[in-house]
Amino acid sequence: MRSSRVETARAAPALRAGPGPVARVLGLDDAPTMFARISSNSAVQLTRISCGPAQLGRGPEPPRDDSFVLALYLTGIRRHEMWCGGRIAISQPYAPGTIRIVHLAEGYSSHIYEPHETICITLPRSALDAFADDAGGPRIARLACIPGTLDPVVYSVAQALCHAFARPDDFEPLVIDSLGAAICAHLAHTYGGFRQAAVIAKGGLAAYQERRAKELIEHNVATPLSLPEIAQECGLSVGYFTRAFRASTGRTPHQWLEQCRLEKAKSLLLDPSVPIADIAAKLGFSDQSHLTRRFGRMVGESPAAWRRLNARRPPVTQEVFGSSQSGERRRRRLPQ
């Protein structure tokens, strides 16, 4: 039986109202922001920032906080300044795909000279600590890089986030959580000097843990739980659970969710009386087109086309004339 916590808890949509610390001081209160959960009490904040004419000039300092902010430039900029302690600390151009990392606790502000687009990734100390504890290594003192570093890994994650910001309903919380875990691991290793103290075991989940995880995923396809929620129910950390689930099933938790949804969609499509839009709503898709895109990507044809080939057909009758003198009509069931 599921605990009351899991029965009532559901993963909130990844896209939330409220900007990150950088967007807030720039007056971008409507900047789209996502939260990728690293543990049950920590998350990485992901914000898309579009600086226009209103953001040009010297801006105020964000509230000091023990968090690291990585800015990845989606568009190039010829000049940008970071101020700290009343003087210029960083002044240089940035090409698309390059990054900069600052520690909010040190009191940075920026001077913006031209419009540009960035993805800001805010990692609080709690998220870095949760990652290090999970991976079995020492906690990370700080993240630092040479401003203007070209980072293909962060850039590829940023491209995925751009799609998520454009179509938030197409991206499950499990996907956003996985992206957050991946970026946290990459930054910790590449810019935090993180080294694992022990080799992670390659074993999978215990039988009862695998059953429990599959049950939680399969019973919540319309409102999926987050990775930390499922991992906690199995008594594991997020990182270990993710690795062990894949070792046991050959799939990530999100891939298992997608397969469950696909099978449930096929089962419902067999009944031609059920509208496809109702199936989409029942399985947690934002609308029928969302279901059509996912179904087509996995099956190779639309739900309507699949239904035409596979749906149960109602009995067909045809009027035939009998040979009796009265000429009465009788109905005959035709074979399917």
Within a domain: 325: no
What is the spatial distance between Cα 106 and Cα 139, in angstroms, rounded to a whole number?
A: 20
What is the spatial distance between Cα 229 and Cα 40, in angstroms, rounded to a whole number?
A: 7
Within a domain: 135: yes
Both 156 and 299 in a single domain? no
Q: Which two tokens stand for residue 63?
A: 């509230």
Region 252-269: mean pLDDT is 90
Both 94 and 211 in a single domain? no
pTM equals 0.70
What is the spatial distance between Cα 149 and Cα 186, in angstroms, rounded to a whole number?
A: 14
Both 110 and 140 in a single domain? yes
The residue among 141, 157, 191 that closes a domain is: 191
The CATH code of the domain that includes 245 is: 1.10.10.60
Taking the CA atoms of residue 249, residue 252, residue 253 and residue 258 in that order, the dihedral angle to the nearest 10 degrees is -100
Q: What is the pLDDT of residue 14?
A: 46
Both 60 and 182 in a single domain? yes
Both 43 and 174 in a single domain? yes
Within a domain: 137: yes
Both 44 and 125 in a single domain? yes
Within a domain: 202: no
Query: What's the total number of domains in the chain?
Result: 2
Both 150 and 226 in a single domain? no
Is the pLDDT reported for residue 113 higher than 70? yes
Q: What is the pLDDT of residue 319?
A: 46
Helices H / strands E in the chain, number of each: 12, 13
Both 170 and 227 in a single domain? no
- The SS3 assignment for 334 reads strand
Q: What is the pLDDT of residue 115?
A: 97
- The SS3 assignment for 103 reads strand
**For tokens 């087109």, what's the residue?**
289
Both 26 and 140 in a single domain? yes
The CATH code of the domain that includes 119 is: 2.60.120.10
- The upper half-sphere exposure of residue 265, i.e. CA atoms within 13 Å in the direction of its Cβ, equals 30
Within a domain: 64: yes
Q: What is the pLDDT of residue 207?
A: 87
Domain that includes residue 15, residue range: 4-191
What is the spatial distance between Cα 255 and Cα 241, in angstroms, rounded to a whole number?
A: 14
- Name which of 58-67, 164-173, 295-304 the model is least confident about: 164-173
Angle between helices 238-249 and 253-269 (to 10 degrees): 50
Within a domain: 329: no
SS3 content of the chain, % helix, strand, coil (to 5): 40, 25, 35
Both 167 and 229 in a single domain? no
Both 234 and 281 in a single domain? yes
Both 12 and 149 in a single domain? yes
**pLDDT for 293-309, tens place per residue?**
889 988 999 999 999 98
Query: What is the band of 223 on the pLDDT scale with cuts at 50, 70, 90?
Result: confident
Within a domain: 331: no
Within a domain: 328: no
Q: What is the pLDDT of residue 196?
A: 65
Q: Cβ(119)–Cβ(46) under 8 Å?
A: yes
- What residue type is assigned to position 44 of the chain? V
